[in-house]
Amino acid sequence: MLGVFLDRDSLDCGDLDFSGLDHLLPNLAYYPATAPDQVAARIAEAEVVISNKVMLDAAALQQAPRLRLICIAATGVNNVDLETAAQAGITVCNCRGYGTASVVQHVFALLLALCTRLPEYRQAVRRGRWQQAHQFCLLDYPIRELAGKTLGIVGYGELGRGVARVAEAFGMQVLLAQRPGAVEPEEDRIPLPILLPQLDILSLHCPLTPETRGLIGAWELALMRRDAILINTARGGLVDEAMLAAALRQGALGGAGVDVLSLEPPVAGNPLLAPDVPNLIVTPHSAWGSRESRQRLVGQLAENIQGFFDGEPPRLVG
């Protein structure tokens, strides 16, 4: 079968093993990236298409009469016109759970850096302030322990559960938010307006949907404690970024660590990239990107293709 991988460089840093895919699809064509005006030509003769973020809209799919399988090298499938794919009899599979360990680790990297004031102490040493100190240590920036703190989680899927397990190992109390948009009360879940004032840390792990877009805005930030910390490794659109920047500047929030922005890459800038926003760590959507995570993703792509050949494709979408 003829296959194409439209954006290999979106996950490969030259450190991954693609032999599993090559064994299944000896004629697989790899493209580092694919511009929108290149999609139709590149998939025109393909029977299997692998894409991470390249858009596969109705116009492109209608020009690929041989296409039988789309494998998305991610969990989200918003870059595929699923209705058109279904009408054309095209199977769509995604990848799931491959980045859990990497993302959970990143959540606590951000949280620990904020609580231990790691960036500030590192910079202080670089500037020679420890070397000039009058005592053996430098304690200019208040350090907070995680033990005994209350962590709130929005989105209690695999990632949320992974964060909860590590939080409990640190001696934290974990509280769960009611699902955004839920009408009926849920056992052991707390409505967000009631939850927010109780928290030392809020960590977001829900998808971006009409119900969750702008989930944390000015009103929600005002409900949080002045020393609370917000962690977002989910989707940038969950948070009103201008309001978060304002809250940090005003000292209305203790800190924030974000790995996602509303537009990525942020070619037009972003309120959270301003250099004067204090107590903020921004990372470039890298939480998922450990080598192990990316290799698991490649393995799941191979499993999806093998399953399709066997008549039982795993991780079906739709």
Residues known to be catalytic: 235, 264, 285
| Separation between Cα atoms, residue 9 and residue 46, nearest integer Å | 20
Neighbouring-strand partners of residue 44: none
In this structure, are residues 222 and 192 in contact, taking their beta carbons and an 8 Å threshold? no
Phi and psi at residue 140, to the nearest 5° = -75, -25
118, HSE (Cβ side, Cα atoms, 13 Å)? 12
Longest dimension (CA), the chain: 75
How far is Cα 101 from Cα 131, in angstroms, rounded to an integer?
38
| One-character DSSP codes across 75-123 | S--TTB-HHHHHHTT-EEE---STTHHHHHHHHHHHHHHHHHTHHHHHH
Q: CA 48 → CA 42, 217, 227, 262, 311, distances in Å?
A: 11, 42, 51, 31, 15
Half-sphere exposure of 255 (CA within 13 A, CB side): 22
For tokens 């290999």, what's the residue?
Answer: 8
Whether 254 and 279 have beta carbons less than 8 Å apart is answered as: yes
C-alpha R_g of the chain = 22
